[in-house]
Amino acid sequence: MGPATRAVDGLIRLYQRRLSPRKGWTCAHLVAHGGQSCSAAVRDVVVRRGVARSVVPTVARFVACYQAATMLAATDVQGVCCCGPIPIPFRFRR
């Protein structure tokens, strides 16, 4: 694992441990489809493929998360998607 990959992996891990638990919502892709959150999926891709070769799969995952947020917005759910720095609101069922 190269230095860039280690750095990005460390930053994602820091986000997962320090920021994500405090933000108050969950990944729309995780809510809609189960499996991994976007940060976990992106971290796996970065570790397996390296930073440069993970750009396209990361963008594809964020697009899929956006689509999941759009789908969930049409239902009775509530929250915000974790698509990077762009919050995408949706509602969770209560």
Model pLDDT for residues 2-48, shown as the tens digit of each residue = 999 999 999 999 999 998 888 877 888 998 888 999 999 999 999 99
**Can you give the pLDDT at residue 34?**
87
- What pairs with residue 79 in β-bridges? 90
Position 50 pLDDT exceeds 90: yes
- What is the value of pTM for the model shown? 0.74
Question: CA-CA distance, 21 to 23, in Å (whole number)?
Answer: 6
3-state secondary structure of 91: strand
Q: Give the mean model confidence (pLDDT) for residues 65-89.
A: 70
The closest alpha carbon to 38, from 62, 56, 54, 22, belongs to 62
Q: Cα dihedral angle (32, 74, 16, 64), rounded to 10 degrees? A: 60
Q: Parallel, antiparallel, or unpaired for β 78-81 and 88-91? A: antiparallel
